[in-house]
Structure 1
Amino acid sequence: MWINGVEQFELSARDRAVQFGDGCFTTAAVVAGKIQLLNAHLQRLQEGCERLFIPLPDMAQLAEEMQHAAKGQTQSVLKVILTPGVGGRGYSRTGCTTPTRILSLSPWPQHYTTLQQQGAALITSPVRLARNPLLAGLKHLNRLEQVLIRQQLDHTDADEALVLDTAGTVVECCAANLFWRKGDQVFTPRLEQAGVDGIMRRYLMAQIASEGQACQLIEGSREDVLNADEVVICNALMPVLPVRKIDDVSFTARTLYQQLYNSCQKMEAS
């Protein structure tokens, strides 16, 4: 782990990440010493800081630190956290002058390879996401809803959760975005009210568009997803997985999955 460029494991208890969950993060795949979609991850961090009014760190320096962390790694996960740093009184950030940069490496999740073959089983989560357009789309550090979703999921034999918001609209999974196909139409949830606009979601939407195909952003219901011909989930590490069932509804088609899987093979490492 590196904190502000120094290899260490100690973070001040006064850092606003600890005090308030104040900050944003991204999680990137490292393959053969290279970070997949590096520029997209840097853009996400910059957008997160701008929307949360966090002073931007030196992005060129951050990119260099990320590449240094990735160097020599065969296959691993790189997580980058940015916070406003130490300072302020109460909720106020007054006095926070130097953002904190936290980089860490973790082992590659091996189970995704198995799930690519057999498909992921989803269960509808009883935990609903609150609607909040001010934070919707962001990968901010306030992830208690996801912690509760994962806590519920851990008591089942499902691999992931189908997550709705408090209005009953399908949003995402616990740690992934989703697409579904009905006939030749492809859908993904709108994320103006809740959810995370994932790096892989953005990448795949761009790939679908480049192939002359429309991906419709909708406020879909659980029934819309269950009535689909095919469901696929994605994140920066999976990068895509076919869904074999949601609750008691099974899916066997893999047309969209194969299309998106092929698109992922085009990803360039930086």
Structure 2
Amino acid sequence: MFLINGVTQDVLPANDRAVQFGDGCFTTARIKNGRVEFLTAHIERLEHNCATLLIPFSEWAGLSQEMQTLARQQGDGVLKAIITRGSGGRGYSPSACQTPTRMLSVSPSPAHYPLWRKEGARLALSPVRLGRNPHLAGLKHLNRLEQVLIRAHLEQTDADEALVLDSDGWVTECCAANLFWRAGDVVFTPRLDQAGVDGIMRRHCISHLAQSRFRVVEVNARVESVRQADEVVICNALMPVIPVRTFAEVHYRSRELFDYLAPLCEQTTTS
């Protein structure tokens, strides 16, 4: 189901900037028991992204209400919210765009995540690297061609997810998830000031880890650091956290970090 500017439809104008330039941003939320989990965080993410991209969207209360209405109708599943700069103009200049477009859609929950949580996910190193761009780093903008290529290469392997480096060779994220790895009581996660998406579940995990016996450190690290870890977990708003079973030839057997994070990430919240 699609809701575009408050109307049930699945047609977007050909001159919408999302179609022409990928000019917009989005967030993907889990619907559980008819409620949008981390609703406030998803709205704040969109607000921050629109401000950074200079998209003059202001109907935040209306968007929040539409998201909640769709969630109640769906029950359980996935809600995706997209904001584009809107329609207008042929070239790159945004000056002809006066009215941003908001688009919502709902779909079933990914069927494979419960199996991954039970058995662990398999990672493969992606040959596709993320370009470094500090102005766009952390944002979930609509320019996702890198992720499309990462996924296309991943589907040529028997792995479940891809470990992705940036163009300088630093560990950054997975195709559709953020990444943590543990060595003893120290938990590492990549710095995302040059590339990657700063996910809502990543922030949630960091917040809880800061109050735990674990010490969390954001780092620039090479892939060998992940290979030598005691444990690796991945996370996003839908998973919400999953243990990694293997990466290349390395097998991870510990679930100490996963066992700590899993119940905290499963707690239903709309804030």
> Considering the TM-score relative to the shorter chain, is it more than 0.5?
yes
Alignment partner, residue 229 of structure 1: 230
Alignment partner, residue 198 of structure 1: 199
Alignment partner, residue 30 of structure 1: 31
Residues 195-253 of structure 1: CA deviation (Å, up to 9, x unaligned): 00001001111111133643100001100011000000000010000000001111000
| Structure 1 residue 74 displacement after superposition | 2.6
Contact preservation (8 Å) 1:57, 1:99? no
| Structure 1 residue 262 displacement after superposition | 1.9
Alignment partner, residue 113 of structure 1: 114
Residue 76 (str. 1) matches residue 77 (str. 2): yes
**How many residues of Structure 1 are paired with residues of Structure 2 in the alignment?**
270
Residues 149-207 of structure 1: CA deviation (Å, up to 9, x unaligned): 00000111100000001111000000000000001101100000100000100111111
Contact preservation (8 Å) 2:240, 2:266? no
Contact preservation (8 Å) 1:24, 1:45? yes
- Secondary structure of 2:210's counterpart equals helix
| Structure 1 residue 265 displacement after superposition | 3.0
Alignment partner, residue 8 of structure 1: 9
| Structure 1 residue 267 displacement after superposition | 3.7
Instruction: Report the Cα distance in structure 1 between the residues aligned to 2:101 and 2:261, rounded to whole angstroms.
Output: 36
Question: After the TM superposition, which of the residue ranges 125-134 and 65-74 deviates more from structure 2?
Answer: 65-74
Residues 98-128 of structure 1: CA deviation (Å, up to 9, x unaligned): 1100000111101000010100000000001
| Structure 1 residue 75 displacement after superposition | 1.3
Contact preservation (8 Å) 2:35, 2:270? yes
Residue 102 (str. 1) matches residue 99 (str. 2): no
| Aligned CA-pair RMSD | 1.0
Q: How many percent of aligned residue pairs carry the same amino acid?
A: 57
What one-letter code is carried by the residue in structure 1 that aligns with 2:3? W
Alignment partner, residue 172 of structure 2: 171
Contact preservation (8 Å) 2:185, 2:214? no
Using the size of structure 2 for normalisation, the TM-score is 0.97
Residues 40-84 of structure 1: CA deviation (Å, up to 9, x unaligned): 000000010001010023100100011111113231100000011
Instruction: Report the Cα distance in structure 2 between the residues aligned to 1:59 and 1:211, rounded to whole angstroms.
Output: 34
Instruction: Report the Cα distance in structure 2 between the residues aligned to 1:124 and 1:85, rounded to whole angstroms.
Output: 37
Instruction: Report the Cα distance in structure 2 between the residues aligned to 1:158 and 1:265, rounded to whole angstroms.
Output: 25
Instruction: Report the Cα distance in structure 1 between the residues aligned to 2:75 and 2:101, rounded to whole angstroms.
Output: 27
Instruction: Report the Cα distance in structure 2 between the residues aligned to 1:238 and 1:29, rounded to whole angstroms.
Output: 9
1:1-270 correspondence runs (5 A): 1-211=2-212, 213-269=214-270
Instruction: Report the Cα distance in structure 1 between the residues aligned to 2:156 and 2:203, rounded to whole angstroms.
Output: 31
Question: After the TM superposition, which of the residue ranges 65-74 and 162-171 deviates more from structure 2?
Answer: 65-74
What one-letter code is carried by the residue in structure 1 that aligns with 2:195? A
Instruction: Report the Cα distance in structure 2 between the residues aligned to 1:146 and 1:226, rounded to whole angstroms.
Output: 23
- Secondary structure of 1:71's counterpart equals helix
Contact preservation (8 Å) 2:87, 2:97? yes
Instruction: Report the Cα distance in structure 1 between the residues aligned to 2:254 and 2:169, rounded to whole angstroms.
Output: 26
- Secondary structure of 1:186's counterpart equals strand
| Structure 1 residue 18 displacement after superposition | 0.2
Instruction: Report the Cα distance in structure 2 between the residues aligned to 1:85 and 1:57, rounded to whole angstroms.
Output: 13
Q: What stretches of structure 1 of length at least 5 have no aligned partner?
A: none
Instruction: Report the Cα distance in structure 1 between the residues aligned to 2:105 and 2:263, rounded to whole angstroms.
Output: 29
Instruction: Report the Cα distance in structure 2 between the residues aligned to 1:209 and 1:177, rounded to whole angstroms.
Output: 17
Contact preservation (8 Å) 1:32, 1:72? no
Instruction: Report the Cα distance in structure 2 between the residues aligned to 1:234 and 1:265, rounded to whole angstroms.
Output: 12
Instruction: Report the Cα distance in structure 2 between the residues aligned to 1:100 and 1:32, rounded to whole angstroms.
Output: 28
Q: Once superposed, which parts of structure 1, at least 4 consecutive aligned residues long, lie more than 4 Å away? A: none
Instruction: Report the Cα distance in structure 2 between the residues aligned to 1:205 and 1:190, rounded to whole angstroms.
Output: 12
